[in-house]
Structure 1
């Protein structure tokens, strides 16, 4: 039955990639007008809301775990470093590819390198993403060198790990919050339930909570796929940290609504209120109820289920901020086209395949045994 299921998933994955490649051809030969439902009234759609805003946030587990291990000296979390850095690196690579699809002239993507506009939030995000992707590659390179048995290069890269980690934390902190800053310039076009002057802070905290949940998510699936043990004693603590940050973010968001007299939007039945409640209940309240129980945190299935809910709530949030808040406030209609959806699914599948190949051929889960040799 397992073999049949695996073969079925492989076939589905191949179909998704094939359709995505067809959509890629349409996008780059016929342009955005044919391949998307974007317009001058709604220029940012699924490729920004999901591929970039969600992709960057889901990769936040990399800098969070690295900070815990190398900055706060929580050595017990060392076994989680390599998979979390790999997840982050692949996430950022896919974000860059997603951006190329959205840009009207993708061949000009390099302009930010030489055409500086330091007053632009987009400029800061562009540079941080470029630099942090490079840092993640360098952080993960010792794993590649270990797999190739290039010991001198591996030793050299390990010697510069701490400076790279510090630089990575700084860069990730900057652009995780700056993604929220992108929406501060459109207060009249966003629904009050999502617009706030504290959006950068909300983006940063939600990314940390979700990044930690991604560590649980990929650890659970990797353990099942490769018949490896799961670090329950570590993941239960990661889950608790995730729910603490999650609840802090929820409390600040509710406090912001109270302070700015926006509760009326919650008690008025509307499309915006429905999406807001879905985001909060699925992504915060239910997983918090589960993870606040120590007994639940010691069960693999409960950890996995709650991580799925937190990730789903995070996706709701980013799509609500980038799409729902604008469509419900301005009345502009937007729903992603077939090509937009298929390209996004293709990128997700390619990321999963890349992770699987890395785990299969590189010592991603052997850090605990080799790190201190």
Structure 2
């Protein structure tokens, strides 16, 4: 008898270590509460679980609504081969954001309260409803992959019949809450460092989310091509890189225009940690934007991937600066995440990668190279060793 056993690799060992530490951190969170498992306090109640897991998580999943709009609303069909992976990434991203909220909320059992206890004057209420509805839309957009896998044609036809209004609703909902996440910080102007507080935060959050959504699509496509032995859709990704360059350039221009309009450019000359973190954030976005204007850079897979990674890190730096750095100066306290906070965050990210790979192996996520039915990665020859047992 021969059974397939997974090879033990360094990456699988790291994954196991991350998940074990995350499980222990979850135990601490459940039995010792926020006070016993985090460095959060009444003076600084939002930490890495909000700044990274939520603010970054929602933005990094923006590739779904961006490509849905491009392919199905603007009818640019040539991007269809990379649409399904983007939808899967978005669905997993939003699902894991909900998981992260269960850790951050003092009473996670009341997560459902905004759905029945309405407060239409609250930005959080609008974000909660939009995220809930958009996650539902993403599930319905992901569902055809499941229905195709099991050959359930009648439900698949029902989904196709409502696909157009569904996708329009998804784009509208995502637009609303991507910008509303920035609106959350408009109510605390005196508590934020001026380099990041701005009345234009909703627009900045929305524009940067579209940009990082494109970068995440390049990131995911590059890793999928290596993990599953697929050809990289380089012409599509290169054209996406050009759009990303324009988008990031416009975003940075608006950032500095806003600083000048609010007369805070002088803060860039002040030798403070906030200044250097601001320059780091800007550099991580400006360098790839300049590089991606060059065609030879866009047509080199490694260079294109590196630029996408820099944009992603720049986006993460921005959200961490808004959610942590900017608020530290106003709160009069300092915040350094406890190891358990980092462990939970890393385990959520690692789980996202693992679930994506699992779904991609057994469900039709990728389009066939020359049209036809989407491919199942699991139908290819397995790379795992067969080990005789017994």
TM-score class, shorter: over 0.9
SS of residue matched to 2:103: helix
Structure 1 stretches of at least 4 aligned residues deviating more than 6 Å after TM superposition = none
CA distance, structure 2, for counterparts of residue 237 and residue 357 of structure 1: 29
Aligned to 2:272: 270
SS of residue matched to 2:190: coil
CA distance, structure 1, for counterparts of residue 180 and residue 211 of structure 2: 17
CA distance, structure 1, for counterparts of residue 182 and residue 301 of structure 2: 33
SS of residue matched to 2:168: helix
1:111 corresponds, among 110, 113, 120, to: 113
**Are the counterparts in 1 of residues 29 and 36 from structure 2 also a CA contact under 8 Å?**
yes
2:172 corresponds, among 155, 170, 173, to: 170
Give 1:13 deviation, angstroms.
0.1
Alignment pair present for 1:223 and 2:225: yes
Give 1:369 deviation, angstroms.
2.6
Aligned to 2:357: 356
Larger radius of gyration: 2
Aligned to 1:188: 190
2:129 corresponds, among 96, 115, 127, to: 127
What residue ranges of structure 2 are gaps of 5+ in the alignment?
1-5, 375-390
CA distance, structure 1, for counterparts of residue 168 and residue 118 of structure 2: 24
Q: Where do 1:134-213 residues align within 5 Å?
A: 134-213=136-215
TM-score, reference length from structure 2: 0.92
1:369 corresponds, among 368, 372, 378, to: 372
Larger deviation: 351-360 or 361-370? 361-370
2:11 corresponds, among 9, 12, 24, to: 9
Q: C-alpha offsets along residues 169-194 of structure 1, whole Å, 9 cap, x if unaligned?
A: 00000000000000001101100000
SS of residue matched to 2:271: coil
CA distance, structure 2, for counterparts of residue 155 and residue 226 of structure 1: 29
Give 1:155 deviation, angstroms.
2.1
CA distance, structure 2, for counterparts of residue 248 and residue 277 of structure 1: 17
Report the number of matched residues: 367
CA gap of 1:5–1:182, structure 2 versus 1, over 3 A, is farther
Q: C-alpha offsets along residues 37-85 of structure 1, whole Å, 9 cap, x if unaligned?
A: 0001000000000000000000000000000000000000011110000
SS of residue matched to 1:43: coil
CA distance, structure 2, for counterparts of residue 179 and residue 280 of structure 1: 20
**Are the counterparts in 2 of residues 69 and 78 from structure 1 also a CA contact under 8 Å?**
yes
**Are the counterparts in 2 of residues 27 and 34 from structure 1 also a CA contact under 8 Å?**
yes
Aligned to 1:312: 313
Q: C-alpha offsets along residues 7-34 of structure 1, whole Å, 9 cap, x if unaligned?
A: 1100100110011011101101110000
Give 1:353 deviation, angstroms.
0.3
Backbone CA RMSD of aligned residues: 1.3
CA distance, structure 1, for counterparts of residue 292 and residue 340 of structure 2: 38
SS of residue matched to 1:183: helix
Q: C-alpha offsets along residues 278-314 of structure 1, whole Å, 9 cap, x if unaligned?
A: 00001x1110121010111111001100000000000
Give 1:260 deviation, angstroms.
1.0
Aligned to 1:322: 323
CA distance, structure 2, for counterparts of residue 175 and residue 241 of structure 1: 23
CA distance, structure 1, for counterparts of residue 41 and residue 330 of structure 2: 17
CA distance, structure 2, for counterparts of residue 244 and residue 144 of structure 1: 36
Aligned to 2:377: none
What residue ranges of structure 1 are gaps of 5+ in the alignment?
none
**Are the counterparts in 2 of residues 326 and 332 from structure 1 also a CA contact under 8 Å?**
no
CA gap of 1:281–1:5, structure 2 versus 1, over 3 A, is farther
SS of residue matched to 1:49: helix
2:40 corresponds, among 34, 38, 41, to: 38
Aligned to 2:383: none
Aligned to 1:84: 86
CA gap of 1:128–1:6, structure 2 versus 1, over 3 A, is farther
